[in-house]
Amino acid sequence: MSATGLPLAECAATARRDWLDWLAHERRSAARTVSAYRDDFDSWLRFLAAHTGEAVTTAGLAAITPADLRAFLASRRAQATPAPGRARHGLSNRSLGRALASVRSFYAWLDRQRGIAVAAVAQVRPPKAPQSLPRPLDVDDAGALLSWAGSADGSTTGPAWTKARDTAILSLLYGCGLRISEALSLTPSSVPLGSRGLSITGKGGRQRVVPVLPVVAEAVNAYAAMLPHAVDRDMPLFRAVRGGPLSARHVQALMQKARGSLGLPDSATPHALRHAFATHILHNGGDLRAIQDLLGHASLSTTQRYTAVDARHMLAAFASAHPRASR
């Protein structure tokens, strides 16, 4: 049943299910990506049911017009729920763009797998989203963070092995440019780390080999040696105090504590360490294509955002160092 009480035709429901299965198992999208696409697409189905007053069928999905899609985006913006105590501002352009991308993904799949091409989808452009620059930590702050994680007054207040764990995770994020999910998916079969590099499966199932600095290998190997819990070879290496898999929320909370203890900016998140990894390599003459491979970006345009950060860094250095910069 749809949210409006109208039955969802079986053929449309089957297409939805098969598309989500394709996203998860063939495209190998992350679970959070599949969940976000599913929620956006279900919003589209609910909108169509209310918009047409009829059960949603495959024929109805194929008969949409550009006006239908634009009306859907307008309704999504209008239906945004404000946070308590805040005025209603609607969904951001970035969120609307993702909603449209979710719908487009379904229709691209429908064309490839069912031979049903819907021209209207290509005729609607997403609203322009502001280009945000990565906000990495600087070198000194990154070093202070790693020292703090293993110190007596920093990081976790639990047993010594938990400090080694936190140091190892932060070292992987900054020293290898990993995403949180990639670091937390590391298994005991990967340790002890050495000079051979670390094989990572990232977004979209893309695989890459990331070189491992000796200091990062030492941190991860030290944690693995101290870990008191028995962990199967193919289970996540990083564990919580009681032995369960460590969650991304722990790493986020760790960075939140670090911001308060070290006076780091609000932009100091776990992902900021990945930004710092890329930006600091670029500052020191690293090749953009190499950074793309190290980060596992599918498109060079994603990596090129770091050139704007690098240009800003160079201009700041010029302004502070050139003898005539202040004249």
Q: Which helix (H) or strand (E) holds 214?
A: helix 214-226
Q: Residue 1's Cα: distance from chain center in Å? A: 32
Q: Which of 271, 283, 305, 313 is catalytic?
A: 271
Active-site annotation holds for 306:
yes
For 222, other C-beta atoms within 10 Å of its C-beta total 17
Bridge partners of 208? 200
Contacts of residue 187, Cβ cutoff 8 Å, sequence gap at least 6 = 233, 234, 235, 236, 237
The pair of structure tokens assigned to 219 is 């941190």
Give CA torsion, residues 217, 220, 223, 224, to 10 deg. -90
- Taken in order 261, 267, 271, 277, the sign of the CA dihedral is negative
Could you tell me the CA-to-CA distances from 166 to 221, 236, 306 in Å, in that order? 13, 15, 27
Active-site annotation holds for 163:
no
Q: Which of 179, 250, 275, 280 is catalytic?
A: 179
Active-site annotation holds for 275:
no
Question: Nearest Cα to 168, choosing from 144, 194, 149, 190?
Answer: 149
Active-site annotation holds for 203:
yes
Q: Which of 135, 203, 259, 283 is catalytic?
A: 203
Q: Which of 16, 208, 280, 297 is catalytic?
A: 297
Could you tell me the CA-to-CA distances from 93 to 46, 76, 89, 98, 131 in Å, in that order? 21, 11, 11, 9, 11
| 270-283 and 288-295 helices, crossing angle to 10° | 160
Active-site annotation holds for 114:
no
Contacts of residue 134, Cβ cutoff 8 Å, sequence gap at least 6 = 272, 275, 278, 279, 305, 306, 309
Active-site annotation holds for 128:
no
Q: Residue 99's Cα: distance from chain center in Å? A: 16
Q: Which of 16, 274, 275, 280 is catalytic?
A: 274
Which residues are tagged catalytic?
A: 179, 203, 271, 274, 297, 306
